[in-house]
Amino acid sequence: MNHINELILLFFIYSVIGWLWETIYCSSKAHKFVYRGFLVGPYCPIYGFGVLLVLLLVSPYQKNLLVLYIFSTCVVTILEYVTSLLLETFFHATWWDYKDVPFNLNGRVALPVSLFWGVGCLLIVKVVQPFVLLLTERIEGAAGGYIPLVIALVLFADSIYTISNMISFQKVSKVWIGKIDEVKAEFSKRQDIFRKEKAAWLSEFTNEKKKTLPKLNFNQRRMLSNFRQLKIKGIDNLDELVLLYKQKKKQK
Protein backbone atom coordinates (compact mmCIF):
# COMPACT_ATOMS: atom_id res chain seq x y z
CA MET A 1 0.00 0.00 0.00
CA ASN A 2 1.20 3.52 -0.82
CA HIS A 3 2.36 5.05 2.47
CA ILE A 4 0.71 8.44 1.83
CA ASN A 5 -2.60 6.77 0.93
CA GLU A 6 -2.40 4.72 4.11
CA LEU A 7 -1.82 7.83 6.23
CA ILE A 8 -4.76 9.64 4.59
CA LEU A 9 -7.08 6.69 5.20
CA LEU A 10 -5.92 6.25 8.79
CA PHE A 11 -6.32 9.97 9.43
CA PHE A 12 -9.84 9.99 7.98
CA ILE A 13 -11.02 6.82 9.73
CA TYR A 14 -9.85 7.99 13.14
CA SER A 15 -11.28 11.46 12.50
CA VAL A 16 -14.67 9.84 11.86
CA ILE A 17 -14.32 7.61 14.93
CA GLY A 18 -13.49 10.71 16.99
CA TRP A 19 -16.54 12.52 15.62
CA LEU A 20 -18.76 9.55 16.48
CA TRP A 21 -17.35 9.42 20.00
CA GLU A 22 -17.85 13.15 20.62
CA THR A 23 -21.30 13.20 19.07
CA ILE A 24 -22.55 10.18 21.03
CA TYR A 25 -21.03 11.41 24.30
CA CYS A 26 -22.30 14.99 23.99
CA SER A 27 -25.72 13.87 22.72
CA SER A 28 -26.16 11.54 25.70
CA LYS A 29 -25.28 14.37 28.09
CA ALA A 30 -27.58 16.87 26.40
CA HIS A 31 -30.42 14.33 25.88
CA LYS A 32 -30.65 15.44 22.25
CA PHE A 33 -28.66 15.05 19.05
CA VAL A 34 -25.53 17.21 19.15
CA TYR A 35 -23.61 17.55 15.89
CA ARG A 36 -19.99 17.96 16.96
CA GLY A 37 -16.87 18.90 15.03
CA PHE A 38 -15.12 22.06 13.92
CA LEU A 39 -15.54 21.19 10.24
CA VAL A 40 -18.91 20.70 8.56
CA GLY A 41 -18.47 17.02 7.73
CA PRO A 42 -18.77 14.14 10.22
CA TYR A 43 -15.12 14.05 11.25
CA CYS A 44 -12.88 15.67 13.87
CA PRO A 45 -9.34 16.16 12.51
CA ILE A 46 -7.82 16.56 15.98
CA TYR A 47 -8.51 12.85 16.59
CA GLY A 48 -6.98 11.90 13.26
CA PHE A 49 -3.85 13.92 13.97
CA GLY A 50 -3.66 12.66 17.54
CA VAL A 51 -3.89 8.98 16.66
CA LEU A 52 -1.43 9.32 13.77
CA LEU A 53 1.08 11.04 16.04
CA VAL A 54 0.70 8.33 18.66
CA LEU A 55 1.02 5.53 16.09
CA LEU A 56 4.09 7.09 14.48
CA LEU A 57 5.88 8.08 17.68
CA VAL A 58 5.14 5.24 20.09
CA SER A 59 5.95 2.25 17.87
CA PRO A 60 9.22 1.55 19.77
CA TYR A 61 7.28 1.36 23.07
CA GLN A 62 4.31 -0.82 22.11
CA LYS A 63 5.50 -3.79 24.17
CA ASN A 64 5.73 -1.75 27.38
CA LEU A 65 2.19 -0.75 28.37
CA LEU A 66 3.26 1.71 31.08
CA VAL A 67 5.67 3.58 28.82
CA LEU A 68 3.12 3.46 26.00
CA TYR A 69 0.46 4.94 28.28
CA ILE A 70 2.66 7.74 29.61
CA PHE A 71 4.03 8.62 26.19
CA SER A 72 0.58 8.58 24.56
CA THR A 73 -0.86 10.76 27.32
CA CYS A 74 1.91 13.31 26.83
CA VAL A 75 1.48 13.35 23.05
CA VAL A 76 -2.29 13.91 23.07
CA THR A 77 -2.05 16.50 25.87
CA ILE A 78 0.47 18.56 23.92
CA LEU A 79 -1.64 18.24 20.77
CA GLU A 80 -4.82 19.33 22.58
CA TYR A 81 -3.08 22.35 24.11
CA VAL A 82 -1.49 23.43 20.82
CA THR A 83 -4.77 22.94 18.92
CA SER A 84 -6.68 25.06 21.45
CA LEU A 85 -4.03 27.77 21.24
CA LEU A 86 -4.03 27.79 17.42
CA LEU A 87 -7.84 27.92 17.18
CA GLU A 88 -7.94 30.84 19.60
CA THR A 89 -5.07 32.63 17.85
CA PHE A 90 -6.34 32.30 14.28
CA PHE A 91 -10.12 32.26 14.81
CA HIS A 92 -10.35 34.28 18.04
CA ALA A 93 -12.66 31.61 19.44
CA THR A 94 -12.60 28.92 22.12
CA TRP A 95 -14.33 25.57 21.52
CA TRP A 96 -13.62 23.89 24.86
CA ASP A 97 -12.75 25.11 28.33
CA TYR A 98 -11.54 22.91 31.19
CA LYS A 99 -11.36 25.67 33.80
CA ASP A 100 -13.92 23.85 35.93
CA VAL A 101 -11.94 20.59 35.75
CA PRO A 102 -9.31 19.97 38.48
CA PHE A 103 -5.63 20.29 37.57
CA ASN A 104 -6.22 22.20 34.34
CA LEU A 105 -3.69 24.34 32.49
CA ASN A 106 -5.19 27.61 31.24
CA GLY A 107 -8.44 25.76 30.60
CA ARG A 108 -6.90 24.15 27.50
CA VAL A 109 -5.96 20.78 28.99
CA ALA A 110 -6.73 19.02 32.27
CA LEU A 111 -5.11 16.05 33.99
CA PRO A 112 -8.27 13.87 34.31
CA VAL A 113 -9.05 14.40 30.62
CA SER A 114 -5.47 13.65 29.57
CA LEU A 115 -5.43 10.45 31.63
CA PHE A 116 -8.64 9.39 29.90
CA TRP A 117 -7.12 10.05 26.46
CA GLY A 118 -4.13 7.93 27.48
CA VAL A 119 -6.43 4.96 28.12
CA GLY A 120 -8.11 5.60 24.78
CA CYS A 121 -4.75 5.52 23.01
CA LEU A 122 -3.89 2.18 24.62
CA LEU A 123 -7.13 0.68 23.31
CA ILE A 124 -6.50 2.10 19.85
CA VAL A 125 -2.92 0.85 19.59
CA LYS A 126 -3.58 -2.60 21.04
CA VAL A 127 -7.16 -3.34 19.94
CA VAL A 128 -8.51 -1.03 17.24
CA GLN A 129 -5.50 -0.43 14.98
CA PRO A 130 -5.16 -4.01 13.62
CA PHE A 131 -8.78 -3.92 12.41
CA VAL A 132 -8.38 -0.43 10.94
CA LEU A 133 -5.28 -1.55 9.02
CA LEU A 134 -7.28 -4.40 7.50
CA LEU A 135 -9.99 -1.92 6.53
CA THR A 136 -7.51 0.44 4.84
CA GLU A 137 -6.00 -2.46 2.87
CA ARG A 138 -9.44 -3.51 1.62
CA ILE A 139 -10.36 0.06 0.69
CA GLU A 140 -7.21 0.59 -1.35
CA GLY A 141 -7.45 -2.89 -2.81
CA ALA A 142 -10.95 -2.15 -4.06
CA ALA A 143 -10.51 1.45 -5.24
CA GLY A 144 -6.78 2.03 -5.50
CA GLY A 145 -5.72 5.57 -4.71
CA TYR A 146 -8.99 7.20 -5.75
CA ILE A 147 -10.67 7.16 -2.34
CA PRO A 148 -7.68 8.74 -0.51
CA LEU A 149 -7.59 11.42 -3.22
CA VAL A 150 -11.31 12.16 -2.84
CA ILE A 151 -10.93 12.25 0.95
CA ALA A 152 -8.04 14.72 0.70
CA LEU A 153 -10.02 16.99 -1.66
CA VAL A 154 -13.14 16.88 0.54
CA LEU A 155 -11.16 17.71 3.68
CA PHE A 156 -9.37 20.56 1.90
CA ALA A 157 -12.63 22.03 0.57
CA ASP A 158 -14.30 21.65 3.98
CA SER A 159 -11.38 23.40 5.68
CA ILE A 160 -11.53 26.36 3.26
CA TYR A 161 -15.30 26.65 3.68
CA THR A 162 -15.11 26.41 7.48
CA ILE A 163 -12.41 29.07 7.75
CA SER A 164 -14.42 31.43 5.52
CA ASN A 165 -17.60 30.60 7.44
CA MET A 166 -15.96 31.24 10.80
CA ILE A 167 -14.82 34.71 9.70
CA SER A 168 -18.36 35.42 8.52
CA PHE A 169 -19.80 34.05 11.78
CA GLN A 170 -17.73 36.48 13.84
CA LYS A 171 -19.05 39.42 11.78
CA VAL A 172 -22.66 38.22 11.97
CA SER A 173 -22.37 37.63 15.73
CA LYS A 174 -21.24 41.22 16.28
CA VAL A 175 -24.26 42.50 14.32
CA TRP A 176 -26.61 40.38 16.46
CA ILE A 177 -24.94 41.58 19.66
CA GLY A 178 -25.18 45.17 18.44
CA LYS A 179 -28.94 44.79 17.93
CA ILE A 180 -29.30 43.20 21.37
CA ASP A 181 -27.43 46.10 22.99
CA GLU A 182 -29.67 48.61 21.18
CA VAL A 183 -32.85 46.89 22.37
CA LYS A 184 -31.53 46.55 25.92
CA ALA A 185 -30.66 50.25 25.99
CA GLU A 186 -34.16 51.22 24.81
CA PHE A 187 -35.78 48.82 27.25
CA SER A 188 -33.77 49.97 30.26
CA LYS A 189 -34.89 53.55 29.73
CA ARG A 190 -38.56 52.58 30.07
CA GLN A 191 -38.55 49.55 32.31
CA ASP A 192 -37.11 49.48 35.80
CA ILE A 193 -37.51 45.70 35.96
CA PHE A 194 -34.73 45.29 33.41
CA ARG A 195 -32.19 45.00 36.19
CA LYS A 196 -34.31 42.53 38.14
CA GLU A 197 -35.69 40.21 35.49
CA LYS A 198 -33.13 38.21 33.53
CA ALA A 199 -33.39 38.59 29.75
CA ALA A 200 -36.52 40.75 30.02
CA TRP A 201 -35.24 42.65 26.98
CA LEU A 202 -36.27 39.68 24.83
CA SER A 203 -39.87 40.91 24.94
CA GLU A 204 -38.77 44.02 23.03
CA PHE A 205 -37.56 42.01 20.07
CA THR A 206 -40.61 42.27 17.79
CA ASN A 207 -40.86 40.21 14.62
CA GLU A 208 -39.95 43.30 12.61
CA LYS A 209 -36.74 43.77 14.57
CA LYS A 210 -35.88 40.09 14.23
CA LYS A 211 -36.23 40.34 10.46
CA THR A 212 -33.40 42.89 10.41
CA LEU A 213 -30.97 40.36 11.89
CA PRO A 214 -28.54 38.71 9.45
CA LYS A 215 -29.41 35.08 8.70
CA LEU A 216 -27.24 32.32 10.11
CA ASN A 217 -26.24 29.42 7.87
CA PHE A 218 -26.26 25.76 8.90
CA ASN A 219 -22.75 25.69 10.32
CA GLN A 220 -23.24 28.92 12.28
CA ARG A 221 -26.51 27.66 13.76
CA ARG A 222 -24.77 24.38 14.61
CA MET A 223 -22.03 26.21 16.52
CA LEU A 224 -24.54 28.18 18.58
CA SER A 225 -26.65 25.10 19.34
CA ASN A 226 -23.97 22.49 19.99
CA PHE A 227 -20.96 24.25 21.50
CA ARG A 228 -22.01 25.41 24.95
CA GLN A 229 -18.49 26.57 25.81
CA LEU A 230 -17.96 28.48 22.58
CA LYS A 231 -16.33 31.85 23.18
CA ILE A 232 -15.52 34.52 20.60
CA LYS A 233 -12.93 37.18 21.28
CA GLY A 234 -14.49 40.64 21.56
CA ILE A 235 -17.98 39.29 22.35
CA ASP A 236 -18.58 39.02 26.08
CA ASN A 237 -22.31 38.28 25.99
CA LEU A 238 -22.47 35.47 23.46
CA ASP A 239 -24.96 33.69 25.73
CA GLU A 240 -27.48 36.45 24.98
CA LEU A 241 -27.04 35.84 21.27
CA VAL A 242 -27.76 32.14 21.86
CA LEU A 243 -30.84 33.06 23.91
CA LEU A 244 -32.20 35.29 21.14
CA TYR A 245 -31.43 32.67 18.49
CA LYS A 246 -33.34 29.99 20.43
CA GLN A 247 -36.36 32.27 20.87
CA LYS A 248 -36.30 33.19 17.18
CA LYS A 249 -36.07 29.50 16.29
CA LYS A 250 -39.11 28.60 18.46
CA GLN A 251 -41.27 31.22 16.75
CA LYS A 252 -40.67 29.84 13.26
Has residue 115 got a pLDDT over 90? yes
Asked whether the predicted pLDDT for residue 102 surpasses 80, the reply is: yes
More confident residue, 227 or 87: 87
pLDDT of residue 58: 80
Q: Which residue has the higher pLDDT, 61 or 207?
A: 61
Question: Residue 194 has what pLDDT?
Answer: 46
pLDDT of residue 252: 55
The pLDDT confidence band at residue 17, using thresholds 50, 70 and 90, is: very high
In this model, does residue 205 exceed pLDDT 70?
no
State yes or no: pLDDT of 206 exceeds 80: no
Q: With 60 as the cut, is the pLDDT of residue 197 above it? A: no
pLDDT digits (tens, 9 = 90+) for 45-84: 989 988 998 888 887 777 888 988 998 999 999 999 998 8
The region of weakest confidence among 91-100, 126-135, 171-180, 217-226 is 217-226
Average pLDDT over residues 134-158: 88
Give the residue-averaged pLDDT of 81-96: 82
Amino acid 73: pLDDT: 93
DSSP the chain: --HHHHHHHHHHHHHHHHHHHHHHHHHHHHTS-----SSSSS--HHHHHHHHHHHHHSGGGTT-HHHHHHHHHHHHHHHHHHHHHHHHHHHSEES---TTSSSEETTTEEHHHHHHHHHHHHHIIIIIHHHHHHHHHHHHHHHTTHHHHHHHHHHHHHHHHHHHHHHHHHHHHHHHHHHHHHHHHHHHHH-GGGGTSTTGGGGG--HHHHHTSPPP-HHHHHHHHH-TT-EETTBS-HHHHHHHHHHHHHT-
pLDDT at residue 230 tops 90: no
Give residue 190's pLDDT. Answer: 54
What per-residue confidence (pLDDT) applies to 242?
67
